[in-house]
């Protein structure tokens, strides 16, 4: 069956350290992967998009990697800050043009 999985447990990271979130998928052939941030009571906010033929993408303190062999994307926040605390969602565009979201990982940056 098709699955897109993110760590369901909350991730606690000390301020200043690098937070790494994982997104694994099964039985999808995504054209691209996206990462979103969602704060409580708000809609998700787009962060980064990485295409199937790209290995890595960066934006300021954010970095995304995409390994189509491992069927995995990693999302890194360097020099993390308490303001980075939120739920992070990965989403993939499948070949049928549907965007499928993972359930998200809650990130807590501890001061």
Partner 1 sequence: KAGVTQTPRYLIKTRGQQVTLSCSPISGHRSVSWYQQTPGQGLQFLFEYFSETQRNKGNFPGRFSGRQFSNSRSEMNVSTLELGDSALYLCASSLILQGVPYEQYFGPGTRLTVT
Residue pair 89/36 in contact by the 8 Å Cβ criterion: yes
* Closest to 108 measured CA to CA, from 40, 14, 4: 14
Nearer to partner 1, 47 or 80 (CB): 47
Nearer to partner 1, 44 or 80 (CB): 44
Size of the site for partner 1 (CB under 8 A): 22
Nearer to partner 1, 48 or 74 (CB): 48
CB of 111 to partner 1, least distance (A): 27
Q: Is 10 in the site for partner 1 (CB under 8 A)?
A: no
d(CA 7, CA 4): 10
d(CA 92, CA 69): 15
CB of 22 to partner 1, least distance (A): 16
Residue pair 52/68 in contact by the 8 Å Cβ criterion: yes
Q: Report 27-46 residues binding partner 1 (CB under 8 A).
A: 31, 34, 36, 41-46
């Amino acid at each position: 069956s098709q699955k897109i999985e993110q760590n369901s447990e909350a991730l606690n990271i000390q301020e200043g350290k690098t937070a790494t979130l994982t997104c694994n998928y099964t039985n999808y052939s995504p054209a691209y992967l996206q990462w979103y941030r969602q704060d409580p009571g708000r809609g998700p906010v787009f962060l980064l998009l990485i295409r199937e033929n790209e290995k890595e993408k960066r934006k300021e303190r954010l970095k995304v990697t995409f390994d189509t062999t491992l069927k995995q994307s990693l999302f890194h926040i360097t020099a993390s800050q308490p303001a980075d605390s939120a739920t992070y969602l990965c989403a993939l565009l499948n070949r049928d043009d549907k965007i499928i979201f993972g359930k998200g990982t809650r990130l807590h940056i501890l001061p």
